[in-house]
């Protein structure tokens, strides 16, 4: 087994188009799927989100761990941590359509 630097390893791996495509696909997936807590982490505390939303920190915790919530709740939460909410419908063929929720 050869000892390669990180730079050499990256160059070697990305030289294979199939491998490069798989890696890029996984990176995109990883960056497009985060929990609400992950989105908030490092930006603001649950207490700060709670104050901005006018709810208790326990409610913020419940929102972060919920799997079903109102779009308005999600929009407010996401806005509190500095993002806007976009809703995308995706077909089985991969077609993506933005849904207007404003």
Beta carbons within 10 angstroms of residue 22's beta carbon? 12
- Cβ atoms within 10 A of the Cβ of 9, count? 12
Q: Give pTM, 2 decimals.
A: 0.61
Domain 35-102, classified CATH 1.10.8, yes or no:
no
Positions of CATH 1.10.260 in the chain:
35-102
Return per-residue pLDDT of the chain as tens, 102 residues: 678 787 787 788 778 888 878 877 776 666 666 788 988 888 889 999 999 999 999 999 999 999 898 999 999 999 998 989 989 898 888 888 999 887
């Amino acid at each position: 087994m050869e000892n390669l630097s990180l730079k050499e390893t990256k160059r070697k791996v990305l030289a294979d188009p199939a491998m490069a495509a798989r890696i890029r696909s996984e990176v995109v997936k990883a960056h497009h799927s985060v929990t609400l807590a992950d989105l908030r982490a490092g930006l603001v505390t649950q207490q700060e989100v709670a104050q901005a939303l006018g709810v208790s920190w326990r409610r913020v915790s419940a929102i972060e761990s919920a799997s079903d919530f109102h779009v308005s709740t999600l929009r407010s939460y996401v806005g509190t941590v500095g993002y806007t909410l976009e809703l995308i419908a995706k077909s089985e063929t991969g077609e993506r359509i933005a849904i207007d929720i404003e």
